[in-house]
Structure 1
């Protein structure tokens, strides 16, 4: 099948964008049996479904686009700002020649400008559920003339708690309108929604049964829990993808990994619920124009990201379920392009990941984490390939080359070029060999000179209280009357932190702690006491899950402010509307 049967306005637009033939989902919605009907479409992200439903709406819209747009004829609802903006851009070029006016209504944008755009008339409205409901209740959005409504990624909208918003929006639409429901998965709530709001819907399933996404190569890497970040760094260096995205479970972990990668020299941006829409737009633009090559994001923040150059997805933290795995991985391997998705799996969680992969019908290759040696070998291959590519040189380039040859031998110049190339690349991380013997050896602490004989101490705060070595070290020095060089390894757990002090000064350190324990101030309220080490703490933590963690850590380290700011936003990133809507963590 080709696009030759489409009206010229669409055929020309698709040809300009390089579309030669329809994808499976596009061909399915254009089939004669699908024309004019309600549709339930099960299609993976990246399968071309935005163009699919854009073409499916053509018969409902084309005859009316020449007239001024008084009220919307089509409505597209998407779960996140990024996805809504992406859909608006796609429909913009698809319907440009047809003369369609498109309005976008998403949280985080100026609502008054959106209301003016709606009053000015729009044939197609694209938006997020919360903002569309706001405009509907304020009388700015009139759906009385609607001919078609599309729910894009409907499963995610229900999972994010948008059921009430969707029902209010759909209840305001005319009886005779078409309803197109697109969803990567079809859980029971989606089936119930379709039964209530659709009539004789045609079911279309284009997702493959053998694996989650045919254009994505899935891999899994087992590592020590302490080496997750090192594995992420080595995977980035090994693949050197044009664009890569790393998924974390929380905004705090996004912030931490973003800082780590920046420190290592990666061109990296971050996306999480704590970023404003302007900051998100700037981050995505940096990825599009190649000023940044790596993005660290939470699941919700990365919804709707469509970057043609994105070829690598790294699950730094394991997805909560198979559907999240599919949605995350679907950021790559889009529209026929190939991609790679890698799960970083701590040794104790391998069985859980294997079960998740089976549930998602994904055949993943279990591989070793890239070593510095394999990364350097790939670097040499890439450098040779780049330098031996055909190139054109102007007179200025050749004049400079002659000056260099007059001063140095060709071998020295080539070596200098190689050195400059290597210096610009982040250094790979040394990792534990993936054998039982190596893992047992790695459990024995590596001591720097002066720390052959140490004592462990414990603080009653950890990651959940924003513990960070940058402020823990000054605290230990102030409380224990020691220097930074007298503090050894620091192990930060969920609710407590362990650190080493040389045994020779442990008595003096403990005595100083006793003298400073009653000093005034938030930080002095932190309890510091001798410990048997982090392994004992790990066992203790499992038996003390009911213990309520300290809130915010010493002086909260900025965490409270971020939480309050996030709580002030609505689900679409806009300021809260006062209706007390449930907030989804991201």
Structure 2
């Protein structure tokens, strides 16, 4: 298709050259006759083609009856975005969309050289794209004159208000001409956005892109239930299983980004980080590394990744659960764009399953509940990829023939094939063993905090107790990890001053002993020994609870308050720095 109804010919050609055959719903909505010359408040989800939509919407206002712009002078349009990456992405989109119109698009974003931006503005611009803070700086310093603006676009307006840019936006809108067009694009329309629209728009048309949820029709959602201690191992196996051209792993904090980046680098993944503590130059290089193939995995926080577009992004992993449904959709919307398929894998620790179910329900997303790929599944997938490798189907080249014959003569076909397999696998990180956890499924009733006791169980003593500041919240994942058992195979935990007694399901006791090795040690610091039965006060086969400490499922057990120094000293009150020999064990789980 080379023509689009209601679109300036120059922009229509740009769309055709870009491979557009049809417009998205929001793009069609802004071209309706009733939209002509009016302000608009548009709610549409990320990935719905909003940048192209507002580019099309403001074109008649900027060009009039002309096909091309005249010489660049004071800007005619201003597009404001919340983050540097999104602003630069908007600039790139507008550059190709307006390429045949002779438009000069200039960016003004934080973290870039202000002097360079000032020189670019002095040369003239038709459209300026920027972040609120930097635009305010240029306006106040007289470098940016917005007295001739015909249109202002606020992209991701809800995000800009969340980031605290309200005063900057009000200043920019207050300085611009009163007869300008103002277009607000927002994924949601909370009260703050409605107030902003009421104060700075005139006769605004309200556009709600109903059915924009279909943008996620090309995204396969998978909720992967894991033991809490296996979260990172699950991410590694998901990355290895899919071997995506580009993948993003979303974390909740900068510290988590730094931790995962370091670990994945050590595991041989080509990985870059994207967080707010990086300079603009570092963030630009990270994204470029993803685009040109030097890196395949990006570890990012939500704000740092706001609005970025990676053309070959096939996989999104939620290392930490999103805080709300909007964040879930925004993260996932980085993939499955422009007709391409994508996978959104949500890592769900077993103790956070209910929260994940609520998120999916509020986001109106149907996810397949499963467990992460096992090491065997990853290896099987590797074998499938190896068998389908194009190099195995290509004919032997003439210049290769002599050496191929020499290889086969010296080592034989079987040995050469084995070497090929080793080389193939050697370039990839080994998959991780993951504890078996039953995959989650939507709950139909309240979550049970206590389950029935084991029919048969065995007890073990650990050489650590309250005096060493032992805490069930790190002992439990330590037992699961070192003993290769799941949380449900551990029963009661009773903590004494110098030792801790742990109940383990009888059928799992032998495998637990085998996993911790002949030395019977956990993390080389805690001795484990079998005992004949439960400690005094315990009940064999009793319900899964703790006697006088945290249990695996519950809150800290309440202890009767006794007057006097000795009675008040329990593990919750002791300073953590006195943990002594348990410090190494705690480090992995705190």
| Structure 2 length-normalised TM | 0.75
Partner of 1:344: 347
Partner of 1:59: 60
Deviation at 1:210, TM superposition (A): 6.1
C-alpha distance in structure 1 between counterparts of 2:213 and 2:185, whole Å: 20
Asked whether the 8 Å contact 1:312–1:340 carries over to 2, the reply is yes
The question of 1:29 aligning with 2:38 is answered: no
Partner of 2:40: 39
Partner of 1:16: 17
Deviation at 1:32, TM superposition (A): 2.5
Alignment of 1:235-246 (within 5 A): 235-246=238-249
C-alpha distance in structure 1 between counterparts of 2:420 and 2:132, whole Å: 54
Deviation at 1:33, TM superposition (A): 2.6
Q: Aligned to 2:463, which of 454, 457, 466?
A: 454
Specify the SS of the correspondent of 2:173: helix
Partner of 1:271: 274
- Against the structure 1 CA distance between its residues 405 and 357, is the aligned structure 2 distance closer, same or farther, given a 3 Å change threshold? same
Partner of 1:577: none
Asked whether the 8 Å contact 1:212–1:360 carries over to 2, the reply is no
Specify the SS of the correspondent of 1:455: coil
The question of 1:204 aligning with 2:229 is answered: no
- Against the structure 1 CA distance between its residues 542 and 186, is the aligned structure 2 distance closer, same or farther, given a 3 Å change threshold? farther
Partner of 2:136: 133
C-alpha distance in structure 2 between counterparts of 1:129 and 1:204, whole Å: 24
Asked whether the 8 Å contact 2:550–2:556 carries over to 1, the reply is no
C-alpha distance in structure 2 between counterparts of 1:123 and 1:193, whole Å: 26
Asked whether the 8 Å contact 2:25–2:212 carries over to 1, the reply is no
Asked whether the 8 Å contact 1:244–1:310 carries over to 2, the reply is yes
Specify the SS of the correspondent of 2:321: coil
- Against the structure 1 CA distance between its residues 184 and 487, is the aligned structure 2 distance closer, same or farther, given a 3 Å change threshold? farther
C-alpha distance in structure 1 between counterparts of 2:129 and 2:329, whole Å: 24
Specify the SS of the correspondent of 1:409: helix
The question of 1:500 aligning with 2:525 is answered: yes
Give the gaps of 5 or more residues in structure 1.
Answer: 464-485, 491-498, 505-531, 552-586
- Which string of whole-angstrom CA distances, capped at 9 and with x for unpartnered residues, describes residues 7-32 of structure 1? 34223322332222222222222233
- Against the structure 1 CA distance between its residues 458 and 123, is the aligned structure 2 distance closer, same or farther, given a 3 Å change threshold? farther
- Which string of whole-angstrom CA distances, capped at 9 and with x for unpartnered residues, describes residues 477-504 of structure 1? xxxxxxxxx99656xxxxxxxx934489
C-alpha distance in structure 1 between counterparts of 2:378 and 2:141, whole Å: 57
C-alpha distance in structure 2 between counterparts of 1:257 and 1:24, whole Å: 38
C-alpha distance in structure 2 between counterparts of 1:407 and 1:19, whole Å: 56
C-alpha distance in structure 1 between counterparts of 2:13 and 2:573, whole Å: 64
- Which string of whole-angstrom CA distances, capped at 9 and with x for unpartnered residues, describes residues 370-417 of structure 1? 111111111111221224775466433444333323323333322221
The question of 1:118 aligning with 2:106 is answered: no
C-alpha distance in structure 2 between counterparts of 1:61 and 1:55, whole Å: 10
Work out which of the two has the higher radius of gyration on C-alpha atoms and give 1 or 2: 2
Specify the SS of the correspondent of 2:525: strand
Give the gaps of 5 or more residues in structure 2.
Answer: 440-452, 474-518, 530-547, 560-569, 578-590
- Against the structure 1 CA distance between its residues 503 and 336, is the aligned structure 2 distance closer, same or farther, given a 3 Å change threshold? closer
C-alpha distance in structure 1 between counterparts of 2:385 and 2:528, whole Å: 49
Deviation at 1:188, TM superposition (A): 2.1
- Which string of whole-angstrom CA distances, capped at 9 and with x for unpartnered residues, describes residues 498-537 of structure 1? x934489xxxxxxxxxxxxxxxxxxxxxxxxxxx999699
- Which string of whole-angstrom CA distances, capped at 9 and with x for unpartnered residues, describes residues 94-113 of structure 1? 22221111110111011121
Deviation at 1:137, TM superposition (A): 1.7
Asked whether the 8 Å contact 1:50–1:90 carries over to 2, the reply is yes
Partner of 2:412: 409
Deviation at 1:40, TM superposition (A): 1.9
- Against the structure 1 CA distance between its residues 169 and 425, is the aligned structure 2 distance closer, same or farther, given a 3 Å change threshold? same
Alignment of 1:76-95 (within 5 A): 76-95=79-98
- Which string of whole-angstrom CA distances, capped at 9 and with x for unpartnered residues, describes residues 201-241 of structure 1? 22222253767722222111111111110111111111111
C-alpha distance in structure 1 between counterparts of 2:527 and 2:98, whole Å: 71
C-alpha distance in structure 1 between counterparts of 2:425 and 2:413, whole Å: 18
- Against the structure 1 CA distance between its residues 394 and 201, is the aligned structure 2 distance closer, same or farther, given a 3 Å change threshold? farther
Asked whether the 8 Å contact 1:57–1:148 carries over to 2, the reply is yes
Partner of 1:222: 225
C-alpha distance in structure 2 between counterparts of 1:144 and 1:172, whole Å: 8
Alignment of 1:538-557 (within 5 A): none
Deviation at 1:155, TM superposition (A): 1.2
- Against the structure 1 CA distance between its residues 139 and 489, is the aligned structure 2 distance closer, same or farther, given a 3 Å change threshold? farther
Partner of 1:560: none
Partner of 1:325: 328
Deviation at 1:323, TM superposition (A): 1.3
Partner of 1:554: none
- Against the structure 1 CA distance between its residues 41 and 402, is the aligned structure 2 distance closer, same or farther, given a 3 Å change threshold? farther
- Against the structure 1 CA distance between its residues 377 and 197, is the aligned structure 2 distance closer, same or farther, given a 3 Å change threshold? same
Deviation at 1:66, TM superposition (A): 3.3
- Against the structure 1 CA distance between its residues 68 and 434, is the aligned structure 2 distance closer, same or farther, given a 3 Å change threshold? same
Deviation at 1:304, TM superposition (A): 2.1
Q: What count of residue pairs does the alignment treat as equivalent? A: 486
